[in-house]
Amino acid sequence: MKRNQNGIGLIFISPSLILVGVVVYFGIAYTFWGSTREWSDIRSPSTSIGFANFEKMAQDPTVYMALKHILIFGFLTVLIQMSLGFFAAVMLSGDTIIARNIHKTFIFLPVIISPAVTAISFRQLMSPDGEINSFLRFIGLGFLQQEWLADTRVTLFSLVIINIWQWTSFSFILYQAALSQLDQEILEAAEIDGANYRQVITRIIAPQLKGTHLTLIIMGFIGSMKTFELPFLVTGGGPAGSTEFLTTYIFDQTVSRFKFGYGSTLSVLLCILSITFTVVLLRNSRQRNM
Amino acid sequence: MSTRISKNKRILQNVVMVAFVIPFVFPLISVIARSAQGEGFIVNYKAVFLRSPFFQFAANSLYIAFFTVLITFITTMLSAYAFSKINFRGRSTLFILLLGGLVLPSIALVVPLFIMVAKLGAFNTYWAVIIPLAAGAIPFNLLLAKNYMDSIQNEIVEAAEIDGCNKLQVFIRIILPLSKPISSVIVILTFLASWNEFFLPVLFIQDPTKQVVAQVPQYFSSIYTSDYPKIFAALILISLPTLILYLVFQKNFERGLSAGAVK
């Protein structure tokens, strides 16, 4: 019986394996190969140039700018989305809040809206005479009004705000699910021991959700490296490169300028960063748990 | 816990919660309000329906979503079953290999995708979008489905095999019916991802008769230039199908998003 299982197992997984193999793994291999080529026309053959593209990348100021943006964007969005999501999940886990389902629905809705729709909507809402500025004036916070998408000191943070709006619900849902699996007896025991509300949350609940924190950190940072629609559709990477991401730069080099070789090199960088980041985080967390 | 919270604290918490939710709701209300400005609600929505290829775009998106869901569902369920219930050599290595796709940003594959599509002459075909979408959807859904199937007892599978079922029959008669909850999650999430996909259609579909809903806003920007109420009406109409889907299957959505990640 054991002997037959090798074949049948492989047959069942082969459709997935072929699809992922061809698109992802062949794609990665091809990208690595492409990164060593000078190549600016699909129809004409490319020529090998060794690591010249990597040398070019190491001296390309746009790359460093993009990396800085990803780092700031990733750090802020992950931190704020996790805090807000955790806060909302804890608040809505008890029965003190009236109409909990309505709150949940409103927090959840942004995540199902297409990033393209979100991007185009916020481009209007964040214009100087748009709804965001009017709202700030209306609630008496007029001094917070900004040229959200024109002032190069603010643009990246505007994208952070939009991302938080769209993705907080994801943290919220994960925390909510994790909270529902917590052992109620531990919480009750802590209260009997005289722990107050804040202590229960910071000392007992938060440490027990380590797995969820880790998942959100990994997915958040990978998400920020993948972020494309927001800068592409809201600001186009501008003004003055203030919202350039590695993804928008790859798109620009590959699709707009047909620099397939250099585009591949940038893609290799993106792949290596995503993989390294995930492996390092997973390994660290595993060591700490042991 | 709640019984010990004073009335004042209760009111305060409710006020804080409402203040928390307002920033999430405000943009939605603004977009809806904006879609009723200009020539008015009815004229704007009518214009989207009658004077634009909205239905054409929606039909194209449906076509892409249908085949992406179909391919993703069949391949994911089959392989999740194999990884969960069949012992074969290289099982854990191959599983990690497939999950590796989770980490990689699809835009990092833009060069090979572009070249492959060009070589195959697949520009302006839906398959140029469907195949990469399905390949991208497999890793996460596989994780969801395998986690779920692990909770199905092996005894049930073994009993069916003693009764003379082969592996495929076990899959169709036992595993699939027992996996209904996770199946709906996979179908919904994959539909959502393909309906909302922007990057792949922008890359590969330029023919205006073949474009998809995620491209509608750009299409409208070019024909209505600055008639934003109509563009916003289009944005809302694009989002309606996913909104309805969410409201109908709210529980599945939440369970699905968390099921894969909590474990």
| CB within 8 Å: B108 and A122 | no
A79 in Cβ contact with A216 (< 8 Å): no
Angle subtended by helix axes B216-224 and A115-125, to nearest 10? 40
- Domain span including residue B167: 35-262
A96-130 residue pLDDT tens: 888 888 999 899 899 889 999 999 999 999 999 99
- Tell whether B138 lies on the interface with A, counting CB pairs under 8 A: yes
Angle subtended by helix axes B110-119 and A27-34, to nearest 10? 100
- HSE-CB for A170 with a 13 A CA cutoff: 21
- Tell whether B238 lies on the interface with A, counting CB pairs under 8 A: yes
Using CB atoms, pick whichever of B26, B136, B214 lies closest to residue A116.
B214
What CATH number did the domain enclosing B122 receive? 1.10.3720.10
Of residues B202, B248, B208, B66, the one with CA closest to residue A114:
B202
| CB within 8 Å: B27 and A122 | yes
Closest Cα in chain B to A14: B79
Alpha carbon distance B145, B186 (integer Å): 8
Report in angstroms the alpha-carbon separations of A214 from A119, A177, A178, A285.
Answer: 28, 15, 12, 8
pLDDT at A198: 80
3-state helix, strand, coil in chain B (%, to 5): 80, 0, 20
* Residue A148 within a domain: yes
* Residue B10 within a domain: no
Number of domains chain A contains? 1
Question: Where does the pLDDT of residue B17 fall: very low under 50, low under 70, confident under 90, or very high at 90 and above?
Answer: very high
Alpha carbon distance A248, A48 (integer Å): 26
B109-130 residue pLDDT tens: 999 998 899 889 999 999 999 9
* Residue A271 within a domain: yes
| CB within 8 Å: A13 and B79 | yes
Number of domains chain B contains? 1
- Tell whether A260 lies on the interface with B, counting CB pairs under 8 A: yes
ipTM score here?
0.87
Residue B254 has pLDDT above 90, yes or no: no
B62-85 residue pLDDT tens: 999 999 999 999 999 999 999 999
- Tell whether B258 lies on the interface with A, counting CB pairs under 8 A: yes
* Residue A178 within a domain: yes
Contacts with A219 from chain B: Cβ below 8 Å? 261
* Residue A5 within a domain: no
Arithmetic mean of pLDDT, A180-184 = 78
Residue of A117, A125, A172, A254 to mutate when probing chain B, most B C-beta within 10 A: A117
* Residue A259 within a domain: yes
Arithmetic mean of pLDDT, B172-196 = 90
* Residue B63 within a domain: yes
Closest Cα in chain B to A2: B87
- Domain span including residue A163: 60-289
Contacts with B76 from chain A: Cβ below 8 Å? 16
* Residue A161 within a domain: yes
What CATH number did the domain enclosing A93 receive? 1.10.3720.10
- Tell whether B248 lies on the interface with A, counting CB pairs under 8 A: no
